Amino acid sequence: IEWPAGERSVLNWKKIRLRCAVGSGLWTLAFLTVTAVPAVPALAVTAAEPAATVALVLDTSGSLTPADLAQARDLATGVLQTLPAGSEVAVFSFDDQSRLVQARTTDVESVRRAIDGLQVGGRFTALYDALYDASRYLRDAAGSRRALLLVTDGKDENSALNLEDGLKVAQQMLIPVFCVGVGRVEERVLRRVAKLTGGDYFPSREASASVLAERILAAPEAQVTAAEPSPAASAPAAPPTAAARPAAPPIDTTPRAFYHSPLFWAGAGLLLLLAATAVALVGRRPRSPLPAPHPSSGPTRLDTLQAEGLPRTVLTRMEVAGEPVERTVLLMDKPVLEVTRGARRGEVLSLSVDSAISIGRARANDVVLDDTSVSSQHCRVRPEQGRFVLYDLKSTNGTMVNGRRVNRHPLEEGDVIQVGETNLQFRRDRQRG
């Protein structure tokens, strides 16, 4: 029986089964039913893969000026417009914390509105948290061409994670990170991120939206976490025959390494147990008591030295030199800022080697100065490579160090910082560790 071309209705199928049942009996029915029905392969339905999946990660912390952020917004919008149609784009921002502003979408207008709505805010810069969150977000995205565009000054403050956490995810999933430096840039960090992930670094003056989009599309394809259908699954299934038998599984003939053997680990455990027992027995051996000093009938060394005319002070020190003394206390340097002029004169402010402190008139600062000549966010002191560096945050009246106006100044012992009508002296106090 041949199946008519294009004829697949239920009615025709019932007619064929009925004729077979009347003409040839039960066995003929079973045979013809199997051979007459053509095997229709299951069609694998997969969603169309986006041309590219990109996360735009923009720094909105207070270390950037509004002009810096406007430059970052323009660059991100230019990349968005240059990517091919169908690309999925997400938007992240970070200041005190990392946040997803716009989930992945192919709607260009939604992404543009999300970018335009970003504003400068916050006291800290959670750069490392943002790198980790965006990398994990792209890891779970569909498509094999994924990339991350990071626009920042490269500074990190108060992240819960470290730089290696975000780098590890991006490296494992082959997600390149393209870094653009804006503001006062720490290029070393951004160059390292780009190099270790297979991306590129661009200073803001050299960054071009078209070049960035071209590099993103030319990046190697990332790993696909979802299981892909095998070629055998999409091929038409051959009709079963009586001789068909399931294939026997292949026998693994690869020799096992010696350290995979249970006997090896049992022997190693026994040796460790014997070694621990030997150490315990040696530690329990009684120590022989020290011999007690025998009194001497002759003159002592102290008597001899006194006879030689040494001062009594020296003799007293020598006499007590053998007495047990308490453990010496370790003194450590503690960096501080002491207010030497102004309303808070006399206060001593401790500096942390792990986080920066902000100084200004706004209540959100770590050090609040009630002085109308001080800007809301006047300056910041942050630890960098074992030193403390003072940054002026574009204040109205400026920040002075030892009578000279500065934008950035590594602090030395005794430096006097002038903020408005308040003076703060930097020093390192010796305190108990």
Contacts 24+ apart (CB under 8 A), 69-72: 69/118, 69/119, 69/120, 69/182, 71/182, 71/204, 72/151, 72/180, 72/182
Q: What is the pLDDT of residues 125-168, one digit of tens each?
A: 999 999 999 999 998 887 778 999 999 999 998 888 899 998 99
Domain 330-429, CATH class in plain words: mainly beta
- What is the pTM for the complete model shown? 0.46
The pLDDT, as a whole number, for residue 278 is: 81
Of 17-31, 186-200, 344-358, where does the model show the most confidence?
A: 186-200
The pLDDT, as a whole number, for residue 197 is: 94
Q: What percent of the chain has pLDDT over 70?
A: 67
Give the amino acid at 247. Answer: A
Give CA–CA dist 108/86, Å, rounded. 9
The pLDDT, as a whole number, for residue 235 is: 41
The pLDDT, as a whole number, for residue 250 is: 52
Residue 62: is its pLDDT beyond 60? yes
Residue 264: is its pLDDT beyond 70? yes
Contact 217, 145 (CB under 8 A): yes
Q: Domain limits of the chain?
A: 53-218, 330-429
Residue 230: is its pLDDT beyond 50? no
Contact 397, 360 (CB under 8 A): no
The domain 53-218 is placed in CATH, from the list 3.40.50.800, 3.40.50.300, 3.40.50.410, 1.10.10.10, at: 3.40.50.410
